Amino acid sequence: MRDQDRQAIREELDQLRKNGARRQDLSLHACKRLFFDFEIKPSMAAVRELTQTGSASDIPKDIELFWQRIRATSKVRAGVGSIPPALEERAGELLGALFEEALTLAADALKAERAEFEAGRLDAEQAVRDAEARRAAADEMLQRSEARIEAAFVRVRELESQLATASAQDVLAHGNLAVQIQRLEAENESLRKRIESEQTTNAGLRDRIDGLHEEMRKSTEHYAQQIKDALAEAERRVKPMLVELDSLRTMSATWQATQRDASKKEFDFIQQLATAKARADRLDAVLRERSDEVEVLTREVAALRGQQGLDASVAAVLCSLAEAGRLSEAELASLGTVADGHVALPARCPNCHEGEPELSEMDDGFEFTCPECDYTSGTAVSKLGAYARFMAANAARERA
């Protein structure tokens, strides 16, 4: 049968469905069209393909009802009017031959269906063997993932111990730095007080020198006026003054040397402060690097925990089976939330192919919804179950 004829029958069935026809009426109409118009024996697969409704037990009943009506109509037509005995005998032979031919055709159809069922059984057994092989591969991948997780935990514990050691060293360095800063500040304060004392002494000495200069000037003027009469007296008085002036000059030189030493100590203190600050900056940089590494590993461990040790390829296989509608509710319930960490949000709604689906997480489970056409998956216990229900429309469309 051509695709155009099949589409025409589907349109007729859709029109009957809109007019309120029941499932049995749709199946009978499909049987009539197949048998009378296309000379095709109605089968469960052909009727189910055209009507898109009915279970594996309902459709055979509808087909049997169709054959009962055909047989009833044939009996009524054969019984109309009076038939001569010779003609009845020939008709009986013809009916017997037709019955034998029908039995032969039924046997051939039965053999074909048995061969089809046997091929399906072999395919199912092959699928079971493939599933066992994939399960073994998944177990091996799971063991490798658990080994990687254990290694990551060991690495995290090592980094945590290193971070604790670095923190202790940083605290000790800060304590030593604080003690050293306090000591240097005390030395700086004592030097500052000493400098202030020396500056006060220097100011007094300068005042004294200024007074002595003034006194010497006056004495010089007085001695100049009386130089001839009191030369000896002037020499006797000038010599102690010169000695005292030398002493004052020596004291001034000593003060200047003390001031230079204080400046040098202050410079050494500033260098020590700069060295301590540079060491503290290096320790802070090391601490930040360790913290960043711990944070990255923590995120990796959280991601691995969210994926529950399931390998990405196995999760991809489970998601593809759920999208194709090949996982039953019992299988989804047994899987639980093992593959929820790998379930991605679909790019387009399988119902309208335009909306961008959204995922809602509630207290009693997960739900996928489309904001464009309001298509929803319903609440499911796991994200994989909600994904399978949401993609059921796409799977049904592909089967159709």
Long-range contacts for 306-309 (Cβ within 8 Å, ≥24 apart)?
306/341, 307/341, 307/342, 308/337, 308/338, 308/341, 309/142, 309/145, 309/146, 309/149
What gap in Å lies between CA 7 and CA 4, rounded to an integer? 5
Q: What crossing angle do the helices spanning 312-323 and 383-390 adopt, rounded to 10°? A: 40
Q: Kindly list the domain boundaries of the chain, sorted by start residue.
A: 1-80, 142-307, 310-399
pLDDT at 399 over 60: no
The rounded distance, in Å, linking the Cα atoms of 155 and 149 is 10
Helix (H) or strand (E) holding 276: helix 231-307
- Report pLDDT digits (tens) over 357-368: 888 887 778 888
Cα 314 to Cα 123, 128, 149, distances in angstroms? 22, 16, 17
Cα 248 → chain centroid: 83
Query: Which pLDDT band holds residue 118 (cuts at 50, 70, 90)?
Result: confident
**pLDDT value at residue 79:** 44
pTM above 0.85, yes or no: no
**In the structure, what pLDDT confidence band is assigned to residue 80 with cuts at 50, 70 and 90?**
very low
Interhelix angle 58-78/44-51, rounded to 10 degrees, is: 110
In this structure, which amino acid lies at residue 48? R
Mean pLDDT of 342-368: 82
Distance CA(297)–CA(312), nearest Å, equals 19
Q: In the chain, how many H helices and how many E strands?
A: 10, 2
Q: Which among 325, 342, 338 is positioned nearest to 391, based on CA atoms? A: 325
Is it the case that residue 190 has pLDDT exceeding 50?
Answer: yes
Nearest to 385 by CA among 350, 348, 335: 335
Most confident of 35-39, 105-109, 125-129: 125-129
